[in-house]
Structure 1
Amino acid sequence: MSPPKRILVVGGGLIGIRHLQAVQAHPDCSLVGLADPDMTLAPDVKRFASMAEITEPVDGVIIATPTALHAEHGVYAAERGWHMLIEKPIAGDLPGAEALSHAVAKAGVGSLVGHHRRYHRSVQQLKELVADGAVGTPVCANLIWAMRKPDAYFEGNWRTAGGSPVMINLVHDIDILRFVIGEIATTTALRGKGLRGDTRIESGAIALAFESGATGTISFADTSPSPWGFEAATGENPNIGTTGQDMMWIMGTQGAVSYPSLTLWSGLDWSKPAESTPGAPEQDIKAPLDAQLDHFIDVMKGAPPLIDVADATRTLAAALQIEAQLTAQVEGAANARNAHA
């Protein structure tokens, strides 16, 4: 048996503490400590104000700091020769993500990015169904993410001035579509009216063109209570009520499949109703965060990552393109109002 992997956690926010607890509970991990400038956090574990204070051996680091710091912290970890699991989005901008990708390649360390939804067994089943031709050649996909976020979610924090659901929520859905269908070639986004403020991005519609020739749409809103969305559909988030309602549909030349029920629809004769075959989604043996840690240990041993820095950069690029399109519409509307004032 190989010795436990020595893991450092960087960032003591909500997700960082969850990572820390997962490392503590894992029999094949040894917690080096928590690095965070707030020394009042997790006083029961070894504490460091920054990664620069670490003098003891580290096999891997879990970076769960604010997104704007991901690239800087990842580059530093690569220079120290540490394998890394870095939270998503991979960086705050493309130059940062590209710099991190270069640093990882130069250092020859393993990288894994925390798009943890790929670890849901039902998501992997969906990918397998599509790859095996269960619906034929994918033609189009539709996805809905809609919930009514409480107003307090945006009060007294960084979301007050922004809090767009694109980078908070839809980046996950974009990654799932890439994982299941393939690379996204182009995007076109339309913004809905801001209800909490004219300058906010709260709802809209997104059209996607995949390199394969398939197309897709995403309808989104953080102002509308609904049963449709990944969290509600799968019960992933204990803070969001579970509905079990399908929220993604993929249509191909031989049929269609809905997620998360994995119901298959078939029938080539348009004069007859399509026939449905109930799906059999498998339950996760472990929570995705725990399965991700298992995989990170394997990556440190040389296994190929489910999603590395370069892969996650492509998800980030699509999300940033959509965000930029929506932001341009906000700015255009503001300029038009000013011109008529």
Structure 2
Amino acid sequence: MKRILVVGGGLIGIRHVQTVQEHPNCELVGLADPDMSIAPDLPRFAAMEDVDVPVDGVIIATPTHLHAVHGQLAADRGWHMLLEKPVADTLEHAQALQCSLRRTNVRSLVGHHRRYHASVQQLKELIADGAIGDVVTASLLWAMRKPDAYFEGNWRTAGGSPVLINLVHDIDLLRFCLGEITQTIALSGLPLRDAGRIESGAIAMRFASGATGTISFADTAPSPWGFEAGTGENPNIGTTGEDMMWITGTKGAVSFPSLNLWSGLDWSVPPLRVPQTISLNTASPLDAQLSHFVDVMDGAPPLIDVADATRTLAVALDIEAQLTHTDTIQCRSA
């Protein structure tokens, strides 16, 4: 049994609490959050420094700007950690955390939980096995209208950009399946909520393989397209089952999450659909991630550690900076 502490009592933190409570190889030792009214039926601590019980691993689900600070506190106490994404708010903070991990020999895992979807791993294998040949292009679409209450009275009021909340997942998905992203160009749409936040935009990117890709995104536009809607992974978001990513190659193409695979080289003949049996999750991604975290604590290689997640963060921060710059230019020209 691994003794697990959860830090942060927000939406995702409480989901982690429930996942730990239901896991056969984990024991929840408590929740650390300054708001002591959250989950009063659990063992509670106002801060990590107050924890006075043995801990094997900690799940850090606090606001992004606190990830590195809390990660370093955990490392100093010898607690292996599962950090929510993004790994940190700046590259400098992420790199400082990595130094702490090396110094203390503490193991890390970062919560890019989409890597645990069976269908995502199947997509990665199809591409790696050459099912569509060499990848040429990838197009990804994420659009939903977040409710106004999502931004009210919390840290998202000023810092609710979807890039580091949502697109960082899509960026990591592309890195996981298609390889490293080496260049990005980003343009922002005009904000509709008049709040000064990034809300929509378009991104072009190049991969180390030479393939190119695009992401179109908005948190102001209701649609059936997005990872959460397509896969049904988030109970707070309606499931549509619609595809949200399309990848072409030199021998065919594939869409996700349907994993519709197309093959054909002759442009005068319609491509043929290649039947696929979609791999289904045997456990929820959060459950699978927690099971993997247990293995990581015992020495297994992590699916994505702080160093790997920092590369995803670097791409997201580059995109965020470009979107902020173009938004400023648009406001000045207006």
Normalising by structure 2, we get a TM-score of: 0.96
Tell me which moved more, 309-318 or 218-227.
218-227
Match of 2:116?
119
Match of 1:62?
59
Deviations 1:202-221 (A, max 9, x none): 21110011111111000111
1:186-265 equivalences in 2 (<5 Å): 186-197=183-194, 199-265=196-262
Task: Give the one of 272, 289, 301 matched to 1:292.
Answer: 289
Are the aligned partners of 1:81 and 1:107 in contact in 2 as well (CA < 8 Å)? yes
Counterpart secondary structure, 2:279: coil
Are the aligned partners of 1:261 and 1:279 in contact in 2 as well (CA < 8 Å)? no
Match of 1:269?
266
Residue 183 (1) aligns with residue 147 (2): no
1:313 counterpart letter in structure 2? T
1:10 counterpart letter in structure 2? V
Hey, what's the Cα distance between the residues in 1 that align with 2:20 and 2:237? 25
Q: 1:290 offset after TM fit, Å? A: 0.8
> Residues 184 and 49 of structure 1: is their aligned pair in 2 closer, same or farther, counting only changes over 3 Å?
same
Match of 2:90?
93
Task: Give the one of 166, 169, 176 matched to 1:169.
Answer: 166
Are the aligned partners of 1:142 and 1:250 in contact in 2 as well (CA < 8 Å)? yes
Q: 1:198 offset after TM fit, Å? A: 7.5
2:237 counterpart letter in structure 1? I
Hey, what's the Cα distance between the residues in 2 that align with 1:318 and 1:214? 16
Match of 2:41?
44
> Residues 293 and 197 of structure 1: is their aligned pair in 2 closer, same or farther, counting only changes over 3 Å?
same
Are the aligned partners of 1:200 and 1:330 in contact in 2 as well (CA < 8 Å)? no
Are the aligned partners of 2:189 and 2:327 in contact in 1 as well (CA < 8 Å)? no
Q: 1:158 offset after TM fit, Å? A: 2.9
Residue 313 (1) aligns with residue 310 (2): yes
Counterpart secondary structure, 2:191: coil
Q: 1:323 offset after TM fit, Å? A: 0.6
Tell me which moved more, 167-176 or 221-230.
221-230
Hey, what's the Cα distance between the residues in 1 that align with 2:210 and 2:182? 9
Hey, what's the Cα distance between the residues in 2 that align with 1:49 and 1:286? 32
Hey, what's the Cα distance between the residues in 1 that align with 2:145 and 2:31? 34
Deviations 1:4-62 (A, max 9, x none): 11111111112112111221222211222111122222222222221212233211111
Match of 1:133?
130
Residue 83 (1) aligns with residue 80 (2): yes
1:111 counterpart letter in structure 2? S
Counterpart secondary structure, 2:68: helix
Task: Give the one of 14, 31, 45 matched to 1:34.
Answer: 31
Q: 1:143 offset after TM fit, Å? A: 0.5
1:26 counterpart letter in structure 2? H
Tell me which moved more, 23-32 or 289-298.
23-32
Structure 2 residue ranges without an equivalent (≥5): none
> Residues 38 and 162 of structure 1: is their aligned pair in 2 closer, same or farther, counting only changes over 3 Å?
closer
Match of 2:18?
21
1:216 counterpart letter in structure 2? G
Normalising by structure 1, we get a TM-score of: 0.94
Hey, what's the Cα distance between the residues in 1 that align with 2:173 and 2:37? 37
Counterpart secondary structure, 2:30: strand
Hey, what's the Cα distance between the residues in 1 that align with 2:98 and 2:58? 16
Hey, what's the Cα distance between the residues in 2 that align with 1:110 and 1:240? 32
Q: Percent identity?
A: 71
Are the aligned partners of 1:261 and 1:280 in contact in 2 as well (CA < 8 Å)? no
Q: Aligned-residue CA RMSD in angstroms? A: 1.4
1:136 counterpart letter in structure 2? G
Hey, what's the Cα distance between the residues in 2 that align with 1:37 and 1:158? 15
Match of 1:109?
106
Structure 1 residue ranges without an equivalent (≥5): none
2:61 counterpart letter in structure 1? A
Hey, what's the Cα distance between the residues in 2 that align with 1:250 and 1:233? 16
Are the aligned partners of 2:6 and 2:17 in contact in 1 as well (CA < 8 Å)? yes
Deviations 1:73-103 (A, max 9, x none): 0011111111100111111111111111111
2:193 counterpart letter in structure 1? R
Pairs aligned (count) = 334
Q: 1:162 offset after TM fit, Å? A: 4.3
